[in-house]
Chain A
Amino acid sequence: MTETETDHPLLQVRGLSRRYGDTLAVRSVDFMLRRGEVLGFLGPNGAGKSTTMQMLCGVLAPSAGEVLIDGIDLLEQPREAKRRIGYLPENPPLYRELTVDEYLRYSAALHGLERAAIAPAVARARALCGLDGVQRKLIGTLSKGFQQRVGIAQAILHQPPLVVLDEPTVGLDPIQIREIRDLIKSLGERHGVILSTHILPEVQAVCDRVQIIRRGELIYHAATGELDGSSGNGHLHVALRHPPTADALRRIPGTRSVRALPQAGHFEVDFAGDEVDPATYAESLARLAVESGWGLLELTPRRSSLEDLFVALTTSDEAA
């Protein structure tokens, strides 16, 4: 890495806002992205994810704020800044009547690649996105999954430092989703990637960091590593054949709360993950269950803490 590359983050967003008439779709959003990082951008539909991404890529002009890409101001030097972005909008910007190769060559030329550099760039992107074999097919005849891949190929064609993907796995089957995730992961090794989605496991699977946007405001920001229990709370799901009262469970050292679920004998147990080792805690719970003859049926760690967090954050003060 050279001097200049380490000087500033790959992407720096400050006070970014966008107004549609009277509604403020995005309000004063700040965030940054370093090289080699995958940032998950989460939010319910209509929260302002796509608007923010369109502003990052110069498709929409912000009402206020600034976007620096590699230290270059997107608003002042749009052409220089846009050269460093690869963008996949929510609907891949494809021309159905072109073949995959024609389309990729056109995109490469649009992104200012030299004539001699186009063929190798197209071949490289095609190989990365698993498009070899369909290069002569018309885009309109390809399946949704392949079209999505063509869209991604278009975004990484010119090897931009910053890749912005707006819901790249929407409408794909599970196998395709896995392939696209692997592709994004490998992209994250060399490029900075911003990924918007409302599929939570996706974020946990591929992102280094996550931020949640709700009604145009960034309300949460953390590294994905912090989400799995290490944030302080451990969760267990317990099912017992002869359930005791919830108080009996509370006696286990480290327990924070016990919640009886509507299904008889099912409990949600929260414990202090930073005080007791999760394995020790589970073990003591199991021992107690056996000793007291509760008839332990199920004991599962709950990992979908991001989902809890997401639901809590995005619905909490909906009434307010």
Chain B
Amino acid sequence: MIATIARREYANLFLSPLAWTLLGVVQIILSWIFMAQIDNFLLLRPQLMQLENQPGVTDIVIAPVFSLAAIILLMVMPLITMRSLAEEKRSGSIQLLLSAPLTLTQLVLGKFGGLLLFVITLASLLMLMPLSLLLGTGLDLGKLASIWLAMILLLGAFSAIGLYLSSLTANSTIAAVGSFGVLLMLWILEWGSDNPVIRYLSMLNHHRSMLEGVFDSADAVYFLLVIFLFLGLTVRQLDSERLPR
């Protein structure tokens, strides 16, 4: 049941030109950054050679690209998630799901599953750029896997937040603006604060440490917590709309 909804959600994303356009735009921008980063690396190489424990191409080229990708996708993901539930509510097609023999949890997990499939597609497409370097040089594949996983966890959290905002309204534009606001807030949270709790809440903070190749389970747990929290809130929201007030 969850898989049925997830497949539909994933396919629906590609029925409109929006997902294609966003994939294309993100890919073009990031490949430009990627190229600039490689130029940088070639420029710096003589100096790097003299270092004792020299950082590899993975650290110098790939990590910064994905760090920037996180920021670009922070702006893009709300556009992907905005229609998920809001559009169903606007058109009334959500009644099909609500009257079908499935629980709200299955419904929300299905919706999230579809978004997650999109996120995995997106992360894997972006991964193709660094992998192309394998043609000319060696790469730290473990680090690369960690970067890929970090991307999926981060975008998964973005999706869960976007899904929740999308469940709050029947207007997809409001859902997009709302989730962009929340994501931006979670990002800039660490500015001007030394409070460890607030620093812990900051999303990009966790993403950054994963990019450095330190796959700390605490960071992964943070993202999973965010995902489960917002999926839970979404179920609650849908349920409260059924209940009498």
Contact = CB atoms under 8 A, between A and B. Distances in A.
Contacts of A90: 92
A31 interface: no
Interface residues of A, number: 36
A33 interface: no
Contacts of A79: 101-103
B40 interface: no
B154 interface: no
Interface in A257-309: none
Contacts of A19: 244-245
Interface string B187-213: 000000000000000000000000000
A94 interface: yes
A100 B21 CA distance: 26
A106 B4 contact: yes
A83 B100 CA distance: 7
B50 interface: no
Contact of B96 (A20, A58, A78, A93): A93
Nearest to A91: B92
Contacts of B94: 93
A211 interface: no
Given A20-B245, A61-B244, A110 B92 contact: no
Interface string B84-106: 00000001111111111111000
A98 B7 CA distance: 13
A110 B93 contact: no
A23 B99 CA distance: 25
Given A61-B243, A63-B244, A82-B101, A97 B4 contact: no
B101 A112 contact: yes
Contacts of B243: 61
Chain B residues touching A, range: 20 to 34
A300 B98 CA distance: 49
Given A91-B92, A95-B93, A112-B1, A59 B16 contact: no
B15 interface: yes
Given A20-B245, A60-B242, A61-B243, A110 B95 contact: no
B244 A59 contact: no
A87 interface: yes
A188 interface: no
A270 to B, nearest CB: 44
Interface string A147-174: 0000000100000000000000000000
Interface string B101-126: 11100000000000000000000000
B18 to A, nearest CB: 11
Given A61-B243, A61-B244, A112-B101, A93 B4 contact: no
Given A79-B101, A93-B92, A95-B91, 11 more contacts: A20-B244, A54-B95, A59-B98, A62-B244, A78-B103, A82-B101, A87-B95, A89-B95, A92-B92, A94-B93, A98-B15
Q: Kindly list the 3 A-B residue pairs having the minimum CB-CB distance in the complex, ordered from nearest.
A: A93-B96, A82-B101, A93-B93
Interface of A: 18-21, 54, 57-63, 78-80, 82-83, 85, 87, 89-98, 106-107, 109-112, 154
14 contacts: A58-B99, A59-B95, A60-B244, A61-B242, A63-B244, A87-B95, A92-B92, A93-B91, A93-B94, A94-B91, A94-B93, A107-B100, A110-B97, A111-B100
